[in-house]
Structure 1
Amino acid sequence: MPRKAADPIRFAGIGVASGLGHGRAAFREGLFAGRNVFSELKREGREAPEGEQPFLGVEMPEPPAVLPPRVDRTATLTGRVAASVLAEAWEDAGLDAIAPERIGLVVGGSNLATRERALALVEYWEKRAFVRPRHGHMFLDTDLCGLCTAAFPIRGFAMTVGGASASGAVAIVEARNAIRSGRVDACIALGAMQDLGGHDLQALRALGAMGSDRFSDVPEKACRPMDADHDGFLYGEAAAALVLCRESVGLSKTYGTLLGAASIADGTRGPEPNHEGQIRAARMALAEAGLAAADIDHVNGHATGTPSGDDTELETYRALGLHHTRINATKSILGHGLAAAGAIETAAVLVQMAEGRLHPTRNLETPIDPGFKWVGVAPVEQKIGHALKFSFGFGGVNAALVIGAPEASR
């Protein structure tokens, strides 16, 4: 049985954006259908070097207009998407019922608008005297805090946290900490859209982290987490806002309860994964929840599709004894959302928990280790009482979340 907190912290609202579309309905439908949204990347500034294969991945439709037109014109794409997912989560949770001074915001992500910044550098290189004044702040990570707190009555606090590809999960941990400390009663954890440019994509390809040359002619086959034919992750535009709150504040909706959470450093500088750090984060989160690995019904893996990352994560699964539980990989459908990954994949856990079924793992045809209970290319019916979500980032960041079904805290 999970350890019962005096005032459990629950997920009360969800807002999402991805290549599947904008909003929870498109997200739910696309997840369980395993809909293909992979193609060549087409946004300006994402061109591959001459003579090289185009970059593959996922791009989302233009976000709905949420900000006033004058503000919208000066916001980055990352900012406009952030406002869109926050608007959906705000309405879903009914946050107007809480005093603005008791609401906080944690934005997960850093260096979020590098594509637009690179385009601006090219545009103004020969006419620097005419650089727009807004460029003095619009590319700062804190501009998302300013955009969101100007558009919504958030007056408790606003901050950003960077954890590379674990940023979204780290934002959830810090939102939980802010509520637990008494600083606020509700806090939005926002995994921001990481808007990569061509230089970033080429560097990740050269690093060996990003695929895929092997499937360049068939993009729908290229993203293959935990499959023997994996050759790197594929970038996917994504963002998610999750409202966390005390159970006692009285918001009507509950998607699930955050029973345990941990974010730790493993002492690694670069992209190398570290299974000891992953195991430690998971054990800390499980201990806080008062659960053992045997109590976990579902694992939502970090599962990027990079050979070293997948292999290391499998070591973690083995060490924790997770052979009994159903495992799937949300990145197989959405691509790798980088800063947003931990948040939007947590949203996927909550949606699956509500539906009582697990979304497919696209292209998982030959699992690297068939000894685990993988969710393959078709959805699976599964009641989820307790889920374990992994999220890892360059720089030795390891995060783990233990999420209980709404009844798990009662």
Structure 2
Amino acid sequence: MPSSSWPETVVTGVGVTSAIGQGQEAFLGALLNAESSFGVMQRPGRQKDSAFIGAEIAELRMPDAIDRKQLRRASLSAQVALATLGEAWQDAGLIDVDPIRIGLIVGGSNLQQRDMLLTREAYAEREKLLSPAYGVSFMDTDLCGFCSEQFGIRGLACTVGGASASGQLAVIQAIQAVQSEQVDVCIALGALTDLSHWEFQGLRNLGAMGSDRFAEQPELACRPFDRDRDGFIYGECCGVVVVESEASAQRRGAVPYARLAGWGVAMDANRQPDPSPEGEARAIRMALQRAGRAAIDIDYVNTHGTGAPLGDETELRAIQSCGLSHAYLNATKSIVGHGLSAAGAVEIVATLLQMKAGRLHPTKNLVDPIAPSLNWVRERSVASAIDTALTLSMGFGGINTALCLRSYS
């Protein structure tokens, strides 16, 4: 169904926290200069007779308005969510919006595995003394509680799990909440997925996570679409996108980043982690149809691009089959790492910031592309006016999503 059949939705605020920088300016600057920060991960609970490579947030700045007492009982995922939402809240100017007309969708599930592991280890011999707060904090909805309490959100709030498509799925759910007039503003938050050595080992044994090949050279390990890729490389991150009806934005005098022109969600009917080019292509075509756009209208595709051997090839087959070979392509994960539940939201933020800047970031470590004829942004950033962009996210369990963004004018 074309987007004209529904109320127009726009993005009026964004926030981002990642290992390459916190806040829009630092994040975009690092992206354009391809400044990654991969290394052997150091957080407690991340290693056990292992040396898993990833990118960890070095320092976190909290907004002044956040209650510091609450932070003492907040997990890493909750702290990063509050900091990132604070930036987006201020960016969108939500202070005067009726809190009953603001909603929150948290993208992600099983978000706090490392925190739970550390708690269980600390109380292994004294379970009876376990803090009552654990009875709440092990649930993903605790992030809804932290965020809604600190920012006074009184509209709808829930979590949505779509594996690595969770962040983008949260944005799509936020669009639907605004279009159905449940709220005027809906905040989509791709939450930081805080994993322990258990999850990393499982993902490594699955063949999804690298890197054996670059164990001694972490800066070279994350290389989506390169022939030497050997799996995704984890990266801590969180992205927030403020979705609003165009009518609400106009009433408030908010200046949108872009129009949320169309979206698609398609399932593969497959529990396994192997991707499907048909499912991915179907999501892309649904997004284009809803946006009322043809493939030739797409200037840029922000790929899912994880570095998984089969996943990258499958995604390129879908892109080519949809007639998008002409569009610029890059992979944000090559610099940021794979944020899992957060990835889709972070990549939407990356797309919006690139559109605003008129410049596309490089794809780091793309030395020998598996499809060299495509229109890659490789070693250096490229100046380009982007009117219409697609951003793609896929998740285990056969979940495929696509979102079409159009410049606001």
TM-score (norm 2): 0.97
Cα shift readout 1:72-103 (whole Å, capped 9, x = no counterpart):
10110100100001110000000123211110
Give the superposed CA RMSD: 1.2
Name the counterpart of 2:256: 254
Match of 1:39 in 2: 39
2:62 matched to which residue of 1? 65
CA distance in 2, matches of 1:114, 1:17: 19
The CA deviation at 1:6 is 6.4
* Separation of aligned partners in 1, 2:3 and 2:107: 28
- What CA distance in whole angstroms lies between the structure 2 residues aligned with 1:310 and 1:128? 45
**1:345-382 CA distance string (max 9 Å, x none):** 00000000001110000000110011210110110111
Q: Is the 8 A contact 1:33 1:359 kept in 2?
A: yes
Could you tell me which amino acid in structure 2 is paired with residue 213 of structure 1? D
Query: What does residue 8 of structure 2 align with?
Result: 8
Distance in 2 (alpha carbons) for counterparts of 1:372 and 1:97: 46
Q: Counterpart of 2:394 in structure 1: which amino acid?
A: F
Partner of 1:191: 190
Q: Summarize deviations over 1:187-236 as a string: whole Å, max 9, x none.
A: 00000000010000111011000000111111111100000111000000
CA contact (8 A) 2:18 2:57 kept: yes
**Aligned partners of 2:39 and 2:336: how far apart in 1?**
12
Residue of structure 2 equivalent to 1:208: 207
| CA distance in 1: counterparts of 2:304 and 2:57, whole angstroms | 21
The corresponding residue for 1:272 is 274
For 1:233 and 1:206, the matched residues in 2 are separated by: 13
Q: Which residue of 2 aligns with 1:135?
A: 134
1:348 maps to 2:345: no
> Equivalent residue for 1:18?
18
Distance in 1, matches of 2:255 and 2:145, equals 27
Deviation at 1:177, TM superposition (A): 0.3
Moved more, 337-346 or 120-129: 120-129
- SS for the counterpart of 2:338 is coil
Aligned residue for 2:155? Answer: 156
Write the deviation string for residues 100-141 of structure 1: whole angstroms up to 9, x where unpaired.
Answer: 111000000001000010111111111001101100011210
For 1:291 and 1:204, the matched residues in 2 are separated by 37
Give unmatched runs, 5+ long, in structure 2: none
Q: C-alpha displacement at 1:239, in angstroms? A: 0.1
Map of 1:178 onto structure 2: 177
Which residue number in structure 2 is paired with residue 219 of structure 1? 218
Give the equivalent residue in structure 2 for 1:56: 53
Q: Is the 8 A contact 1:297 1:385 kept in 2?
A: yes
> Scaled by the length of structure 1, what TM-score is found?
0.96
Provide the C-alpha distance between the structure 1 equivalents of 2:145 and 2:131, rounded to a whole number of angstroms: 18
> Would you say the 8 A contact 2:330–2:363 is kept in 1?
yes
Identify the residue that residue 86 of structure 1 maps to in structure 2: 85
Partner secondary structure for residue 105 of structure 1: strand
**In structure 2, how many angstroms separate the alpha carbons of the residues matched to 1:62 and 1:138?**
23
Matches within 5 A, 1:262-341: 262-341=264-343
Opposite residue 394 of structure 1, the aligned amino acid is: F
Q: Which runs of 4+ in 1 moved over 3 A?
A: 2-7
The alignment partner of 2:121 has SS state of helix
Match of 1:102 in 2: 101
Offset from partner CA, 1:296-335 (integer Å, 9 cap, x none): 0000000100001001111101211111110000000000
Q: Which amino acid aligns with 1:138?
A: S
Q: State which of 395, 403, 409 in structure 2 corresponds to 1:401.
A: 403
Of the structure 1 ranges 66-75 and 123-132, higher mean CA displacement relative to structure 2 is found in 66-75
Q: Which whole-Å CA distance do the structure 1 matches of 2:5 and 2:39 have between them? A: 45
Rounded Cα–Cα distance in structure 2 between residues aligned with 1:153 and 1:262: 31
Percent of counterpart pairs with the same letter? Answer: 48
C-alpha displacement at 1:5, in angstroms? 6.2
> Which secondary structure does the structure 2 equivalent of 1:137 belong to?
helix
Residue pair 1:13, 1:253 contacting (<8 A) in 2 also:
no
